[in-house]
Structure 1
Amino acid sequence: MNTTEQVQKHYEYLLAEIYSWMSGDFETRVNQTKEFFIKHNITPAAEISAAVDLGSGHGIQSAALAALGFKVTAVDFNDRLLNELKKNCPHVVNIINSDITGYDFSNVSPEVVVCMGDTISHLDSFEDIKKLTGSIFRNLKPGGKLVLSFRDLTNELKGTQRFINVKSDDSKILTCFLEYFNEYVNVTDILHYKVNGKFVMKLSSYRKLKISAAAIISELKSNGFNNIIQEQISGMHYIISEKTK
């Protein structure tokens, strides 16, 4: 089973049903994302400007882009999350159920493409990242921007540091455990949730690629992207790059 298939099964079995809970208040997250886009001049350049949200989840990035005036296409492989997105983002124009590597850009010439929330680390290999960023560059409008976000897992945690408390409340506790290999990290999500007043445990594992900001920036430059900006927010690396005119 490849990484993409593992991730799909992981979301179907465990993560999709708690994704909105794990992400926090939707409107707050949308406003934070909208402010981030405005800060980096990611706003429509024309009356009709297309944006593509790869790995859209339940719609945080899509909603922020739509609020800024973009005509948004949201792409994700999970039905449950896409159904939540439809409710959360009634102004998103196109909603497509697809693996992000299978999305066909030929029907749209986007001004902005975003692939955020660690989605890019769900690909099978760095070669797949190269293919994806190359396809995005070819299909972006001149002056268009690509926004990526991901966690750099190249620095190995040791011992009990590998157990991470993701989120908890009175009814749910989500912990993850990290196992490090040469090119990827195996992530096991451990969910405890209450049934009839008693906690029940649910487990599921999937792989994430070990990718560094330096490697991503180097690849973006080799594709022709310029004006690259990098920043780190709450442990996530954000990289904004531009297809200069």
Structure 2
Amino acid sequence: MMHSVNYTRVKSHYHSLLSQHYTWTFGGGGAKQSNNYKLLSDYLKDGKGKIAVDLGCGSGFQSIPLMQLGYHVYCVDSSTQLLEELKENAPNTNYTLVETDMLSYTHKADVVVCMGDSITHLANLDEVELLLRNVYEMLDGLFFISFRDLTVEMFDCDRFIPVRSDERTVFTCFLEWKSSGNGCLVKITDLVHVKKGIGAWELCTSWYEKLGISIDWLRQKGLEIGFTVLAEGQDQGMEMIIFKK
């Protein structure tokens, strides 16, 4: 399919700035992998001989736990840097790296995951619906989705989000809503101060847009397509839904 403007902007943002700091912003990959292993293993048991697809895999927060559960994982992401990082961290060879966008990839699978806010990188609700339909066609099993709800606008200083800091790096996000409600677009500007020497700091900036999606809309759209809802709730501040086909 033709890439959207938002896809191009997201890819550029990750390449120029975010991929260099992505895993660090979560405190390293270990804690995220451990949390996701616990979550996934509550619903998935022996994956030997089965296929998993991780859409927007990043550096492997979901892919590596799926490998540990025995699945052969197709790790799909548009960031060359994050795929290379995943390759360095992979515990075995039970995976295939796929450098493309989420909407361009389909593969028959026993489980599909799209977690860690990846779904909000899509440009509009039509693209989200297309993703759901693509996954429905490729899936025979469970579909895990997690995302941050950006449908409620923040104002004034609440729009500054401290992400993480240490003695060498300070990472802050600034959020600007173009509108509010389901389907809104939020401009995310990442501000990264990097220490270059004694008393010397460099400011690195880049921006991209994320999509506001409500859990009610996503649930209803999934049901219309044919999924059933296995579970729903929150995981570390993100909305979480598990569809079943």
Task: Tell me if 1:129 matches 2:134.
Answer: no
What runs of 5+ residues in structure 1 fail to find an aligned partner? none
CA-CA distance at 1:93 after TM superposition: 2.0
CA-CA distance at 1:71 after TM superposition: 1.0
CA-CA distance at 1:170 after TM superposition: 0.6
CA-CA distance at 1:186 after TM superposition: 0.5
Q: Which residue of 1 aligns with 2:75?
A: 74
**Could you report, residue by residue, the CA deviation over 1:65-121 in whole angstroms, capped at 9, with x for unpaired residues?**
00011111100111111111111113342111001111132xxx2110000110000
What runs of 5+ residues in structure 2 fail to find an aligned partner? none
Write the letter of the residue equivalent to 1:203. Answer: T
SS of corresponding position for 1:216: helix
Q: Which residue of 2 aligns with 1:110?
A: 109
State how far apart, in whole Å, the 1-side matches of 2:46 and 2:221 are: 26
Task: Tell me if 1:205 matches 2:204.
Answer: no
When the two chains are superposed, the root-mean-square deviation of aligned CA atoms in Å is 1.3
State how far apart, in whole Å, the 2-side matches of 1:204 and 1:79 are: 18
SS of corresponding position for 1:104: coil
Q: Which residue of 2 aligns with 1:194?
A: 195
Write the letter of the residue equivalent to 2:15. Answer: E
**Could you report, residue by residue, the CA deviation over 1:36-74 in whole angstroms, capped at 9, with x for unpaired residues?**
1122x12346x4110000011011100000001111110
**Could you report, residue by residue, the CA deviation over 1:141-185 in whole angstroms, capped at 9, with x for unpaired residues?**
2xx000011100011111100001010111000000110113210
State how far apart, in whole Å, the 1-side matches of 2:157 and 2:202 are: 23
Check conservation: 1:73, 1:92, Cα contact below 8 A. Answer: no
2:28 pairs with 25, 28, 35, which one?
25
Instruction: Give the stretch that moved more between structures: 81-90 or 226-235.
Output: 226-235
Write the letter of the residue equivalent to 2:197. Answer: N
CA-CA distance at 1:29 after TM superposition: 1.8
How many pairs align?
A: 236
With normalisation by structure 1, the TM-score equals 0.93
Write the letter of the residue equivalent to 1:184. Answer: L
Task: Tell me if 1:7 matches 2:10.
Answer: yes
State how far apart, in whole Å, the 1-side matches of 2:122 and 2:148 are: 14
State how far apart, in whole Å, the 2-side matches of 1:54 and 1:227 are: 19
With normalisation by structure 2, the TM-score equals 0.93
**Could you report, residue by residue, the CA deviation over 1:184-225 in whole angstroms, capped at 9, with x for unpaired residues?**
100100000111231110111110001111111111101111
State how far apart, in whole Å, the 1-side matches of 2:225 and 2:244 are: 11
